[in-house]
């Protein structure tokens, strides 16, 4: 029976900016250790991250703050997220794609499952030409991006875009996201889910693949 693996992008498929500070500092010409915000890797030292997790600011607000702070360090003003991402990650986005993600995508496809991305800001953050630099995205049957739909997770309508687009019931899908608040939408529509732990990507993908293989689904 065909099922679907539905993935968030940032944090789940790509490494977080928290994990690539050394690369960012090198790209920007900053001294090692200049970037100190660590998000889920050290929430006690990242007050803005804690505020975001508590619902006191949105995820976009959090990254707007980090974009402004980082730009100021190099005397630049970035007004769009793609400017930020391009400066801190350079011209090769494939370098920060999780190998665990590529392995899981390949396995799911080999097992005959469908693939979808459900993102709140894929092109908003990375730019419209970003997808052309990642050949593995051609394996995906559907990409739902709130950059264009305007419907952010955990709004259940975002999940409806996935089920309608794939022509599959929610119970036949397994959703993976690193933001707990987004999982509420999946739960509401009856979509099995995995909270992706960015500090343990291999374990999170193993759990997702296990659910893909074993969840009870509708015919």
39: left (phi over 0), alpha (psi -120 to 50) or beta: left
**Which residues lie closer than 8 Å to 92 by C-beta, 6 or more apart?**
133
Residue 219 resides in a domain: no
Query: Do 74 and 119 belong to one domain?
Result: no
Query: Do 59 and 136 belong to one domain?
Result: no
Q: 0.85 exceeded by the pTM? A: yes
Query: Do 68 and 89 belong to one domain?
Result: yes
Cis-peptide into 83, omega within 30 deg: no
Considering the chain, what percentage of its residues have pLDDT values greater than 90? Answer: 82
State how beta strands 142-145 and 114-119 pair. Answer: parallel
**Which of 48, 74, 93 is the endpoint of a domain?**
93
Closest to 142 (Cα-Cα) out of 120, 165, 163: 165
- Side-chain-side CA neighbours of residue 111 (13 Å): 19
Whole-number Å distance between alpha carbons of 151 and 134 = 25
Any idea what the Cα angle at residue 19 is, between residues 8 and 180, rounded to 5°? 40
Query: Do 42 and 30 belong to one domain?
Result: yes
Q: Write out pLDDT tens, residues 145-183.
A: 999 999 999 999 999 999 999 999 999 999 999 999 999
Residue with tokens 């509420």: 184
């Amino acid at each position: 029976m065909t099922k679907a693996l539905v993935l968030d992008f940032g944090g789940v498929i790509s490494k977080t900016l928290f994990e690539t500070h050394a690369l960012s500092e090198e790209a920007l010409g900053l001294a090692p250790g200049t970037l100190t915000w660590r998000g889920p890797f050290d929430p006690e030292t990242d007050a803005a991250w804690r505020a975001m997790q508590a619902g006191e600011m949105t995820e976009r607000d959090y990254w707007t703050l980090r974009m402004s702070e980082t730009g100021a360090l190099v005397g630049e003003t970035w007004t769009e997220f793609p400017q930020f991402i391009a400066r801190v990650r350079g011209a090769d986005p494939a370098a920060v794609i999780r190998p665990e993600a590529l392995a899981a995508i390949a396995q799911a496809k080999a097992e005959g499952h469908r693939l979808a991305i459900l993102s709140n800001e894929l092109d908003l953050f990375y730019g419209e030409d970003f997808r052309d630099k990642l050949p593995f995205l051609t394996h995906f049957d559907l990409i739902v991006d709130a950059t264009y739909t305007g419907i952010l997770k955990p709004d259940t309508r975002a999940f409806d875009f996935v089920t309608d687009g794939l022509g599959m019931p929610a119970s036949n899908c397994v959703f993976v996201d690193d933001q707990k608040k987004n999982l509420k939408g999946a739960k509401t529509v009856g979509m099995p889910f995995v909270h992706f732990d960015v500090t343990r990507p291999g374990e999170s993908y193993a759990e997702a693949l296990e659910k893909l293989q074993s969840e009870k689904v509708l015919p």
